[in-house]
Amino acid sequence: MKKGVVRFLDMVAGLGVLLLGGLLVYSSQMDKELNTQLLDLVKNTPLYSVAIGLFLILSVVLRIASGRKAREKDRFIDFEADGGSVGISTKAIRDFIEQIGKEFSAVRSIESKLVQDKNALDIGINVKVAAGNKIPELSRMLQQRVRESVRESLGLEEIRNITIKVQEIVGAPAEHAGSEPAE
């Protein structure tokens, strides 16, 4: 589901829970007759109980789904530098790595993932590659370029592994210059 849709549904569900809670507090403290009617309605109509239960479950699920991405944005990788420590957001590092991948004409799309373990960083890169390219050579060059650029530009020295996964080979293979065209 799209991030904007999940956030919108989360906001609607949150407002619904707020209204439901407000109604329950109001009816139990201010309007005893309304409270009795609400309780009778829920007791005598199982459909209302199921609807309220599903609504509450949905609101919790949406809250978890919308919060997961927000927490990821706030993660930082910290390292010691001259005169103090520096923190770089994981989103900034992923964006940087993906810009490096776009320098390679054979790479059609790229996504990166970071895993920090103690003082070392593992980088996972998923790519879609244009057909007709030498994947082992491309992978080796991409790994080397990412490792050097992250070290030089971002100052992250402890890069343990860079894993390249080719998700898809896109397009038709290019014809070799020495082959004759088919008639």
Segment 111-130, tens digit of pLDDT: 999 998 877 899 999 999 99
CB-count exposure of residue 159 (10 Å: 0-12, 13-18, 19+): middle
Going along the chain from its start, the domains and CATH numbers come out as 3-73 (no CATH), 76-170 (3.30.70.1350)
pLDDT of 48 over the 90 cut: no
Residue entry with tokens 């008639």 = 183
| pTM as predicted | 0.58
